[in-house]
Structure 1
Amino acid sequence: MKEFLTLLKENPDLRFIIDILGKNGFQAYVAGGAVRDILLKRKPDDIDILTNASIKELISLFGGQKLKTMGKTFPICTINGIEVSSGRAKSDPANFPESDLAQRDFTINSMAWDPISQKIIDPFNGKKDLEDAIIRFTKDPEKRILEDPVRMIRACRFAALIRGSFSLSSLELIMEGKEKIDKYVAKERILCEIMKAMALKRPSLFFKALKKTGLLSKIFPSLDRCHGLDGGPHHGETVFEHCMLVGDALPENLPILRLAGFLHDAGKFDAAKKTDGKLTFANHENHTGAVIQDLTKLRFPLKDIAYITSLINTHMRPLTDQTTPKATRRLLFMLDKSGLDYKDFMRMRIADKKGNLAKRPYTISQIRFRLKKLFTEMAGQPSGFSINNLEINGNDIIQILGLSPGPCVGKIKQQLFEIVLDNPLKNNVNDLKKICLSLKIKK
């Protein structure tokens, strides 16, 4: 296929490695994900070479190149940034590369391209499964899972990648083996699979596959419990469906923001109440405990947990035609205090509206109008305006009011800040002194 020849042409290091291996009597194939991606008409994210040369032989042949070895169970090395795998099935060298491909995870990843014959080696009908959009474990499904249980999560990610489904045997074994996730899989590896899924066109298919296999309850129980939960009178979809739509609507290049979109309404399960026969979710944005617990268990960095939590806390803050300049300033202050950029707030708001099937998405003019409100208020105050930007400080307050240092000084300073938020023009020494004195009189 010409796509493979183009791959060689565009990657001189790939061609160099294959040439050196061939000249020294070794077989070399482009294998795994690169073959799958090319058949899907996608540019390969990673390019792997499969060879029957041992790691020691690779080190000897490419000692002068940028070479790094890794892995114990399946040793590999990278040569000039390209992953080179030494055949796994040493007991059957006569049947190489089929013997190696037999030990790979899924049939769609168990193909290789021979640069000599320029043909695809496909002993397990991976190309047919790719055409039929089927995820099937290679050869012995139970053994593939026992070798590495994280493959059950990878199966869900690849099902989302090809927008496909599972073979019956693969689905049954994942459902039976889901408990292995808790026992045998490092949380960091699960986190890695989640973040890779965020780069997909529709990560919602990943979460839906996790739900279908029973794995979602093991990974994100906070989200799993929202499946089937009525979205209430203001939505035309369930809470789970809404979260899926919102996450998909957020940018692929902002994975943590996107993940926040998938989790933003998970607190509705805890907030759900029936009021006058209607389902309500008052203050659901403040019910973040379950999401934080899930993210912590998955070993997400503290900064990412704080960011996701802040996005959930602020996603209900109104910004409408009726929002006053005062309310807009308070919104900007809240975002700054939460460590959020107005762009991420707007992205979440736009996606949240788009994911509500009972309402129309924002129009371009509506988005521009809201941005104009933010820009107008941002232009009138310093970037990141906070209580420390007041024109008087705690010592000034003590001198003006004749107070002793203590908690009351901080309370007065907070009152001044609230007043300045409402009217930025009062942030000058004379006005703030007058306000301080008036506060003393009220006391």
Structure 2
Amino acid sequence: MEILILQKEKRAVSFILNRFKKNGFQAYITGGAVRDILLKRDPADIDILTHASIKEIAFIFQDQKVKIVGKAFPVCLVNGIEISSGRAKFDSSNFPESDLGHRDFTINSMAFDPISKKIIDPFNGRKDLEDGIIRFTKDPEKRIKEDPVRMIRACRFSAMIDGFFSLSSLKLILASNNLIEDAIAKERIFHEIYKAMGLKRPSLFFKALKKTGLLSKIFPCLDRCYDLDGGPHHGETVFEHCMMVGDALPKSLPILRLAGFLHDAGKFDAAEIKAGKLTFAGHEHHIEAVTHDLERLRFSLKDISYITSLTKVHMRPLTDQTTPKAARRLLSMLDKEKLDYRDFMQMRIADKKGNLAKPPYTMSQIRTRLQILFIQMKGQKTFKMNHLEITGNDIIQILGLEPGPDVGAIKKQLFEIILDDPEKNNYNDLKKLCLKYMPCFNNAVGQDESALKM
């Protein structure tokens, strides 16, 4: 069995295992790395387990770069490779089986010696991996009580191998899912969600959460959309649509991908029947439930703002008939929401792809829409308020005003005019507009942005 890791890291692992062997200690690659090797994947992390104590590990590798980390369960980092000791916690006379028996799932409870090519698999993890079964190691109830986040990890691993739960594991999760709400560091749930976004099909993760009753505990905003009809413009439910959109977004951009899974969750709040038809008018502005869930899961303010901003703009039209004026307004809106046009376009493309009632965009249609934006972006400097060729002090002097909020309101109105006609973005024209429409400006202060349509 080949170790599919970088040659440099492979040499580092072999060096550590050989030195343990020369000093009379057993040592193995364990956990997720063994699972990944069996799946013929490059392991994300290489962990080594030995029955040497932490002090013995530090002594054996005293001529190497050694660092001891962790308080409750200390581990040694030797040249950046994590080494844990099974001696302090478990029966060293039955090593490594005694340690493996305390791990979460059978597919993660294997050990591998790359020197002898020996796999130690006391719980048939290799068979479960081949069959696509997620099964808790030894005592499912005990494994869950030790760490309820393991239920979410079970869903992530199920999605990773496109597998399913053993009957006993599924029953225990269904009976224990309330534990996820109590005394759990929500940051750990966040990390599981974040890792799931890097899977080939994260939709399988959300579907596993639904199957186990965990989705209502983690993302109730999405859970309530499970059976919600997609309406006359869709051939799938709202939940199914969100799943397809999220899967269609790149795994290299996990927060953008999560935005795809959540972008239509507001349809539940917006749903109403008009003229006998189900509509979701303004659903993109119903972001309260999504925001609440993300805050509860300890997502950063930056991530929450990004997801909700993408949600708010995802319905903004961009077609082959979009006028230059509309394109400028779209770019201005994206700038205001601190979004890149590429994120907007990726969401639009995925949104279309996730609609079974309509064909996805062709490459030609995508190029046309991008070209419309590029034409307006080329050489333009009128998508931000500070691109105006007139300052607040200029307005004060021209109109004889006192400094205050009225000046900002006038700048906002001038900006609206410039979006419609960028050629007027010069000092002389803006000064004339101030003088010509001063009464209108005074009336517009505190009113809607559309008060001045010139």
Bin for the TM-score computed over the shorter chain: over 0.9
Residue type at the aligned position of 2:413: Q
Separation in 2 of the partners of 1:4 and 1:404?
73
Judge conservation of contact 1:48–1:83 (CA < 8 Å) in 2: yes
Asked if 1:390 is matched to 2:388, the reply is yes
CA 1:428–1:90 in structure 2 vs 1: closer, same or farther (change >3 Å)? closer
Unaligned runs of 5+ in 2: 443-454
C-alpha displacement of 1:147: 1.2
Asked if 1:179 is matched to 2:178, the reply is yes
Equivalent pairs, count:
441
Separation in 2 of the partners of 1:318 and 1:6?
46
Separation in 2 of the partners of 1:5 and 1:398?
68
Any idea what SS the aligned residue of 1:243 has? helix
CA 1:6–1:404 in structure 2 vs 1: closer, same or farther (change >3 Å)? closer
Judge conservation of contact 1:8–1:15 (CA < 8 Å) in 2: no
C-alpha displacement of 1:5: 8.6
Unaligned runs of 5+ in 1: none
C-alpha displacement of 1:63: 3.1
Q: For residue 300 of structure 1, what is the aligned residue in structure 2?
A: 299
Query: What stretches of structure 1 move > 4 A for 4+ residues in a row?
Result: 5-10, 88-91
Judge conservation of contact 2:53–2:88 (CA < 8 Å) in 1: no
C-alpha displacement of 1:10: 5.5
C-alpha displacement of 1:72: 4.7
Give the CA RMSD over aligned residues: 1.7
Q: For residue 368 of structure 1, what is the aligned residue in structure 2?
A: 367
Separation in 1 of the partners of 2:302 and 2:439?
44
Q: For residue 351 of structure 1, what is the aligned residue in structure 2?
A: 350
Within the candidate set 412, 420, 423, 1:422 is matched to 420
C-alpha displacement of 1:48: 1.1
Moved more, 431-440 or 85-94: 85-94
Q: For residue 274 of structure 1, what is the aligned residue in structure 2?
A: 273
C-alpha displacement of 1:432: 1.1
Residue type at the aligned position of 1:409: V
Q: For residue 431 of structure 2, what is the aligned residue in structure 1?
A: 433
Separation in 2 of the partners of 1:303 and 1:6?
34
Judge conservation of contact 2:222–2:262 (CA < 8 Å) in 1: yes
C-alpha displacement of 1:400: 2.0
C-alpha displacement of 1:62: 2.1
**What TM-score, normalized by structure 1, do the two folds share?**
0.96
Judge conservation of contact 2:149–2:188 (CA < 8 Å) in 1: yes
Separation in 2 of the partners of 1:320 and 1:61?
67
Q: For residue 134 of structure 1, what is the aligned residue in structure 2?
A: 133
C-alpha displacement of 1:393: 1.4
Residue type at the aligned position of 1:348: M
Separation in 2 of the partners of 1:6 and 1:380?
47
Separation in 2 of the partners of 1:112 and 1:407?
68
C-alpha displacement of 1:46: 1.0
CA 1:6–1:393 in structure 2 vs 1: closer, same or farther (change >3 Å)? closer
Judge conservation of contact 2:152–2:192 (CA < 8 Å) in 1: yes
Separation in 1 of the partners of 2:309 and 2:7?
46
Q: For residue 151 of structure 1, what is the aligned residue in structure 2?
A: 150
C-alpha displacement of 1:205: 0.6
Q: For residue 411 of structure 1, what is the aligned residue in structure 2?
A: 409
Residue type at the aligned position of 2:425: N
Any idea what SS the aligned residue of 1:11 has? helix
Separation in 2 of the partners of 1:356 and 1:71?
48
Separation in 2 of the partners of 1:367 and 1:177?
47
Separation in 1 of the partners of 2:117 and 2:246?
41
Judge conservation of contact 1:135–1:158 (CA < 8 Å) in 2: yes
Separation in 2 of the partners of 1:202 and 1:75?
35
Judge conservation of contact 1:149–1:184 (CA < 8 Å) in 2: no
Separation in 2 of the partners of 1:304 and 1:181?
23
Judge conservation of contact 1:271–1:287 (CA < 8 Å) in 2: yes
Q: For residue 205 of structure 2, what is the aligned residue in structure 1?
A: 206
Separation in 2 of the partners of 1:222 and 1:318?
25
